[in-house]
């Protein structure tokens, strides 16, 4: 047994984007007299492992928080974790701290493409992927994922055609997929690598959710294909499982010396020369908490099965077949084809979710629910969610009757 405790931590009184009412009220209409279910953003509600707390407290005890550096133990922790958890072998020089996954993505885009050139992504996908492309004045090419049997599929023929027609320079992959929580199969990844190799397309693989995998699920990092095609850049982070996204401890794994040097040069241009003072000890400590992670993952998977079972009577709602991360992706297109109505009713019931406009495009009739919460709160959410769904049905029926 680890020290994982599925207890919701009250963050409403600190400067936390997930639960702070001051922050949420800038965007949403919150009813202070009703329980709030803020299940939109990508961090969970559970306290970090005791080892991480102790490491931070130890650093906090030295009351000067000046410029930091990356000690040898930082690299050793990353090398050990990647070998033991994913059978990936790296050296110190292969690791680049990037101060955030999207920051790493932007570095990649700037280093290996020019303004106006095409960058490919699959859609729907985590919104900042699209922002990274647009904000660097590149051309966004979206490959619409096929939604079949509550899973996503890639049309490989179309995928390759888009690469050729649009002269794509970089492909941005998300594995496990966000918002779907889907681990891409080895066979699909192999096809993607072969296509990108054929057309000399660099691949950036966002794998920040790779530590949160359901049992009986096999995760394959794109790094496993480097012997076949070395134009691969992998972005990973302990932030998602261990819950310290505020520390910006994403790092890049890249063995190709030319890619590596170009990314390091791009990092120098940003002048981000000092790591987060608390992020360094937090990462080192987190990567000693494999037992905690195992218990956390089991709890999240149980939460997933609970909500699927609890909503199975909602016949006009379909739930994505998830096998990673702490998200549940629901399709409400059979309930209503008016996303604004759905969102309006949810918000009126103090339910805040992430919707299609948060995921670039092609997710108009979907909502993402964060289930990284305690079971008691999840049960209360399900009750309130069912009530809100019934309200949506009533409004839809009324509109249909009038028409």
CATH of domain 21-49+290-402: 3.90.1150.10
Backbone angles phi, psi at 143, to 5 degrees: -95, 110
Extract the tokens encoding 226.
């480097």
Query: Where does the chain hold its CATH 3.90.1150.10 domain(s)?
Result: 21-49+290-402
Contact 220, 186 (CB under 8 A): yes
Q: Are strands 118-123 and 232-236 parallel, antiparallel or unpaired?
A: unpaired
366: enclosing H helix or E strand: strand 366-370
List alpha helices for 87-185, DSSP H: 101-112, 127-134, 156-166
Tell how strand 351-352 and strand 37-38 pair up: parallel
Q: Which helix (H) or strand (E) holds 368?
A: strand 366-370
Contacts of 349 (CB under 8 A, 6+ apart): 34, 384, 385, 387, 388, 391
Q: Which of 99, 113, 108, 124 is nearest to 356 (CA)?
A: 124
List, by residue range, all CATH 3.40.640.10 domains of the chain.
52-286
CA distance 364 to 366: 6
Q: In the prediction, which pLDDT does 403 show?
A: 62
Non-local CB neighbours of 257 within 8 Å, separated by 6+ positions: none
- What is d(CA 109, CA 144) in angstroms, rounded to the nearest whole number? 21
Average pLDDT, consecutive stretches of 10 residues, N- to C-terminus, the chain (403 residues): 89 91 91 93 96 98 96 98 98 95 96 98 98 98 97 98 98 98 98 98 98 97 96 97 95 97 92 90 98 98 98 97 98 97 97 96 97 97 98 91 70
Residue 305: which residues within 8 A CB-CB, separation 6 or more? Answer: none
Helix residue spans in 152-311 (DSSP H): 156-166, 186-198, 239-242, 257-270, 279-286, 290-310
Q: According to the model, what pLDDT value does residue 162 have?
A: 98
Exposure of 180 in the CB half-sphere (CA atoms within 13 A): 24
- Spell 113-124 as b/e; 16+ CB within 10 A means b: beeebbbbbbbb
CATH class of the domain at 52-286? alpha beta
CB distance 223 to 234 below 8 Å:
yes
Q: Are 375 and 303 in contact (CB under 8 A)?
A: yes
């Amino acid at each position: 047994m680890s020290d994982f405790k599925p207890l919701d931590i009250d963050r409403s009184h600190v400067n936390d984007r997930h639960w702070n009412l001051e922050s949420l009220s800038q965007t949403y209409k919150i009813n202070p007299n009703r329980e709030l279910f803020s299940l939109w953003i990508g961090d969970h509600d559970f306290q970090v492992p005791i080892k991480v707390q102790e490491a931070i407290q130890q650093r906090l005890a030295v009351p000067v928080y000046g410029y930091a550096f990356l000690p040898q133990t930082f690299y050793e922790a990353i090398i050990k974790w990647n070998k033991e958890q994913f059978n990936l072998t790296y050296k110190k020089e292969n690791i680049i701290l990037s101060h955030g996954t999207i920051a790493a993505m932007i570095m990649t885009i700037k280093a290996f493409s020019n303004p106006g050139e095409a960058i490919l992504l699959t859609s729907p996908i985590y919104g900042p992927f699209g922002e990274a492309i647009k904000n660097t004045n590149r051309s966004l090419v979206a490959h619409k994922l096929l939604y079949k049997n509550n899973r996503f599929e890639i049309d490989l023929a179309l995928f390759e055609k888009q690469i050729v027609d649009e002269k794509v320079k970089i492909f941005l992959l998300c594995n496990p997929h966000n918002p779907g929580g889907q681990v891409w199969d080895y066979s699909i990844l192999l096809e993607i690598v072969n296509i990108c190799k054929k057309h000399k397309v660099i691949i950036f693989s966002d794998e920040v959710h790779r530590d949160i995998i359901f049992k009986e699920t096999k995760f394959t990092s794109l790094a496993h294909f480097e012997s076949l095609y070395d134009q691969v850049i992998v972005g990973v982070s302990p932030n998602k499982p261990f819950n310290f996204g505020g520390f910006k401890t994403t790092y890049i794994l890249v063995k190709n010396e030319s890619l590596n040097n170009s990314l390091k040069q791009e990092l120098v241009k940003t002048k981000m020369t000092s790591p987060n003072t608390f992020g360094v000890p937090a990462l080192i400590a987190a990567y000693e908490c494999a037992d905690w992670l195992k218990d956390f993952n089991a709890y999240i998977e149980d939460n997933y099965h609970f909500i699927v079972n609890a909503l199975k009577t909602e016949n006009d709602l379909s739930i994505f077949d998830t096998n990673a991360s702490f998200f549940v992706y629901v399709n409400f297109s059979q309930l209503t084809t008016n996303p604004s109505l759905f969102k309006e009713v949810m918000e009126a019931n103090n339910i805040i979710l992430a919707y299609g406009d948060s995921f670039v495009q092609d997710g108009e009739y979907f909502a993402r629910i964060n289930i990284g919460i305690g079971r008691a709160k999840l049960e209360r959410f399900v009750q309130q969610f069912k009530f809100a769904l019934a309200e949506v049905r009533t409004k839809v029926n009324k509109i249909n009757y009038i028409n």
